[in-house]
C-alpha cells in the first residue's frame, strides 16, 4: 500500500507472527510480515516507520536457528524485539543469552511483571501487571547502551531498552490477550517511539484500492467466481465500485447451499452495478453425485463439475482480461509451506486459472486479514448478512450429508440446519460461535412418536469456537438452547427422531464431518 506509513514484522517462525501484524493494524497502522531472510536493501526500500522481530522456537546459539544481519540495527529505524526476537537483538548486539538448562529461569504462562514507567513502552501504564511468558533461554547480560525496563520474579530483564537508538525488547509477548496491557504497550512503541499517526483505515484502503484497480483494469473485462462467502462478496463489492459493469460475477449454485441461500445471494447483489450470472446447476450436481458416498470422491466430483460449469460460462463471455481471486493475507503469509498431509481436499477457486482464458489475476484482498475484509465489506455497504456470514465449505451441504446424497436428505438437512441457526441467533450466540451447523448422519435408530414406532435419521449439531479454523473447540452452548433446537427439529422436520451434539475438538476431529 503505497503512501501509507508501514511497519515491518520480521518473522522468525513464532506461533504469534500473524497476531502481531493484526495487533499493529488494530492500531490503524499498515504492516506486513516478511521472512527473516529478506535482504536488508529490500527492508530499507520499504522505508518502514518501525520494525518488530517476532518470537520463534529456536535458541540463538543453534547454527540452524534464524539470525539477522547486524546492518538492520544501522538503518536508524526503531526496533522492538519480542521473545526470541528480544534474545536475538541482545545476542546480535554483543550481549549474552543464558540457557535455562535446569528450567529454574524458564517461564511459561501468566507471570506478574514490574515495569519502569520511565521507559517509553510503559509510560503511563500500571507499574505491575500480568504478562504472557514462554521462554527457556533468557537474557543474561545486556549489550552496551541497554538497561532493564521490566522484571519478573525470575527474570531480571523482562523488558530492556536502548532509548537513544530506539531499540526495545520484551521477553514476554505483548501481542497476546493474556498480557494485560500488551495492546497499549504495542501502541506506545508504534505511536510514541516510531512516531506513527495511524493512517490505515478501511475507508482510506477502499479509496486507494478502487483507484489502483481502475488504473490496472482500464476498460478491460473482469471475471469473478462468486460463492456468496465473505471474501468473494467483498471482492465483488470492491470491483463493482471500481469498474462497474465491466465486471461479470458468475455464481454457480450447486444446489447444496443452505436453505434459501442461493436466492439470498442473488438478491444481495441485485442492486449492485455488475453483470450477475447465476447458474442453477442443482440437478446436474445431484445427478453427478448419485451413488457416491466416499467423502473425497464427493469433494473431487463437485470441484471438477464446478470448474467445468464456470468454464462454460466464461466461454460465453469471451476472452476476459482479468480474473479476480479472493486470496486474503493469511493465505499469502502461509503460502509456500506445501508439505502438510492432505486431510481434506478443499474445494475453492484456486484451481481456476488453468481453465479460464485470461490475462492477469487481481487479488484485491491479498493485504487484508479476515476481520479487515469484514470491515471493508461494511465500509462498501454490503449487507450485514454477507459480511458476517460464517465460513461455508465449497462443496456445501454435500459434505454434511454423510453417505449418499438424495434430494430427500438434502431437504431434511436444509430444514434442520435452518432451525439450529435460528435458535443460535435467538439466543444471541451467533457472533460468539465461529461456525455452527447441522450434519445429517446416515444412521437410523428407533424412536417413539405419537404412540408409534419410528425408525429415522440421527442429526448431529456442530458448533465450534476458533480463531483460525486450524484448531477448534466445541462451543459450550447452554443446554436450554440445545433443547429448544432439538425439540423444534424433531417436531418440525420429518424423518429425524434423534439429535446429538458433537463435543469433540479439532484435533482430533475436524470441524466438518467429511
- The footprint of ligand XMP (CB under 6 A) covers 344, 346-348, 391, 393-395, 435, 469, 506, 510-512
Cβ count within 10 A of residue 133: 24
Query: Cβ closer to ligand XMP: 273 or 432?
Result: 432
Q: Which of 5, 107, 161, 173 is catalytic?
A: 173
Residue 370 and residue 444: Cα distance in Å, rounded? 39
**123: buried, middle or exposed (CB in 10 Å: 19+, 13-18, 0-12)?**
middle
Q: Which three cell numbers stand for residue 428?
A: 444471541
- 173 is known as an active-site residue: yes
Q: How do 452-465 and 473-474 pair as beta strands?
A: antiparallel
Residue 314 and residue 87: Cα distance in Å, rounded? 54
CB of 371 to ligand XMP, least distance (A): 16
Q: Which of 161, 175, 261, 514 is catalytic?
A: 175
User: Using an 8 Å Cβ cutoff, are 130 and 180 in contact?
Assistant: yes
Q: How distant, in Å, are the alpha carbons of 3, 65, 107, 428 from that of 54?
A: 25, 13, 18, 37
CB of 467 to ligand XMP, least distance (A): 12
Q: How do 147-151 and 138-141 pair as beta strands?
A: unpaired
User: Using an 8 Å Cβ cutoff, are 55 and 173 in contact?
Assistant: yes
CB of 474 to ligand XMP, least distance (A): 12
Residue 18 and residue 32: Cα distance in Å, rounded? 9
Distance of CA 139 to the CA centre of its chain: 33
CB of 472 to ligand XMP, least distance (A): 7
Cβ count within 10 A of residue 247: 27
Q: Which of 27, 31, 83, 423 is catalytic?
A: 83
Which DSSP letter does residue 293 get? Answer: -
User: Using an 8 Å Cβ cutoff, are 57 and 201 in contact?
Assistant: no
User: Using an 8 Å Cβ cutoff, are 78 and 46 in contact?
Assistant: no
Query: Cβ closer to ligand XMP: 99 or 506?
Result: 506
Query: Cβ closer to ligand XMP: 179 or 348?
Result: 348
Residue 456 and residue 149: Cα distance in Å, rounded? 66
Cβ count within 10 A of residue 76: 8
Q: How distant, in Å, are the alpha carbons of 25, 213, 216, 232, 360 from that of 220?
A: 33, 11, 9, 20, 11
Residue 419 and residue 438: Cα distance in Å, rounded? 9
- 83 is known as an active-site residue: yes
Q: CB within 8 A of 324, min separation 6: which ones?
A: 222, 223, 224, 225, 235, 236, 239, 247, 361, 362, 363, 364
User: Residues with catalytic annotation?
Assistant: 83, 173, 175
Amino acid at each position: 500500500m503505497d503512501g501509507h506509513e508501514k511497519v515491518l514484522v520480521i518473522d522468525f517462525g513464532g506461533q504469534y507472527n500473524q497476531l502481531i501484524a493484526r495487533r499493529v493494524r488494530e492500531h490503524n497502522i499498515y504492516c506486513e510480515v516478511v521472512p527473516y531472510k529478506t535482504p536488508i536493501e529490500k527492508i530499507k526500500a520499504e522505508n518502514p516507520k518501525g520494525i518488530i522481530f517476532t518470537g520463534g522456537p529456536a535458541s540463538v546459539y543453534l547454527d540452524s536457528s534464524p539470525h539477522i544481519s547486524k546492518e538492520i540495527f544501522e538503518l536508524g529505524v526503531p526496533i522492538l524485539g519480542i521473545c526470541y526476537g528480544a534474545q536475538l537483538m541482545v545476542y546480535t548486539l554483543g550481549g549474552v543469552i543464558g540457557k535455562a538448562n535446569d528450567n529454574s529461569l524458564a517461564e511459561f504462562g501468566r507471570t506478574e511483571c514490574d515495569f519502569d514507567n520511565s521507559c517509553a513502552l510503559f509510560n503511563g501504564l500500571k507499574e505491575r501487571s500480568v504478562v504472557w511468558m514462554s521462554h527457556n533461554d533468557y537474557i543474561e547480560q545486556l549489550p552496551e547502551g541497554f538497561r532493564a525496563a521490566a522484571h519478573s520474579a525470575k527474570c531480571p530483564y523482562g523488558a530492556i531498552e536502548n532509548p537513544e537508538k530506539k531499540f526495545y525488547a520484551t521477553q514476554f509477548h505483548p501481542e497476546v490477550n493474556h498480557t494485560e496491557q500488551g495492546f497499549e504497550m504495542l501502541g506506545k512503541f508504534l505511536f510514541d517511539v516510531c512516531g506513527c499517526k495511524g493512517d490505515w483505515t478501511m475507508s482510506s484502503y477502499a479509496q486507494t484500492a478502487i483507484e489502483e484497480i481502475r488504473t490496472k483494469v482500464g476498460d478491460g473485462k473482469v471475471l469473478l467466481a462468486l460463492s456468496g462467502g465473505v471474501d468473494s462478496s467483498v471482492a465483488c463489492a470492491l470491483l463493482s465500485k471500481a469498474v462497474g459493469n465491466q465486471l461479470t460475477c458468475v455464481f454457480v449454485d450447486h444446489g447444496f447451499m443452505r436453505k434459501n441461500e442461493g436466492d439470498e445471494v442473488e438478491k444481495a447483489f441485485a442492486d449492485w452495478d455488475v453483470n450477475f450470472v447465476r447458474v442453477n446447476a442443482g440437478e446436474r450436481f445431484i445427478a453427478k453425485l448419485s451413488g457416491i458416498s466416499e467423502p473425497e470422491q464427493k469433494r473431487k466430483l463437485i470441484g471438477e463439475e464446478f470448474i467445468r460449469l464456470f468454464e462454460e460460462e466464461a466461454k460465453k463471455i469471451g476472452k476476459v482480461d482479468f480474473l479476480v481471486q479472493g486470496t486474503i493475507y493469511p493465505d499469502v503469509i502461509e503460502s509456500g509451506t506445501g508439505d502438510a498431509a492432505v486431510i481434506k481436499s478443499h474445494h475453492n477457486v484456486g484451481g481456476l486459472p488453468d481453465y479460464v482464458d485470461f490475462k492477469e489475476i487481481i487479488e484485491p484482498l491479498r493485504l487484508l486479514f479476515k476481520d479487515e475484509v469484514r470491515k471493508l465489506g461494511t465500509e462498501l455497504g454490503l449487507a450485514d448478512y454477507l459480511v458476517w456470514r460464517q465460513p461455508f465449505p465449497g462443496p456445501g451441504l454435500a459434505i454434511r450429508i454423510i453417505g449418499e446424497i438424495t434430494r430427500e436428505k438434502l431437504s431434511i438437512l436444509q430444514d434442520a440446519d435452518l432451525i439450529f441457526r435460528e435458535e443460535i441467533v435467538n439466543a444471541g450466540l451467533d457472533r460468539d460461535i465461529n461456525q455452527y451447523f447441522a450434519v445429517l448422519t446416515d444412521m437410523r435408530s428407533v424412536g417413539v412418536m405419537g404412540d408409534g414406532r419410528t425408525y429415522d435419521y440421527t442429526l448431529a449439531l456442530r458448533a465450534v469456537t476458533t480463531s483460525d479454523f486450524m484448531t477448534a473447540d466445541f462451543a459450550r452452548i447452554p443446554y436450554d438452547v440445545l433443547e429448544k433446537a432439538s425439540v423444534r427439529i424433531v417436531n418440525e422436520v420429518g424423518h429425524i427422531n434423534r439429535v446429538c451434539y458433537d463435543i469433540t475438538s479439532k484435533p482430533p476431529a475436524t470441524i466438518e464431518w467429511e
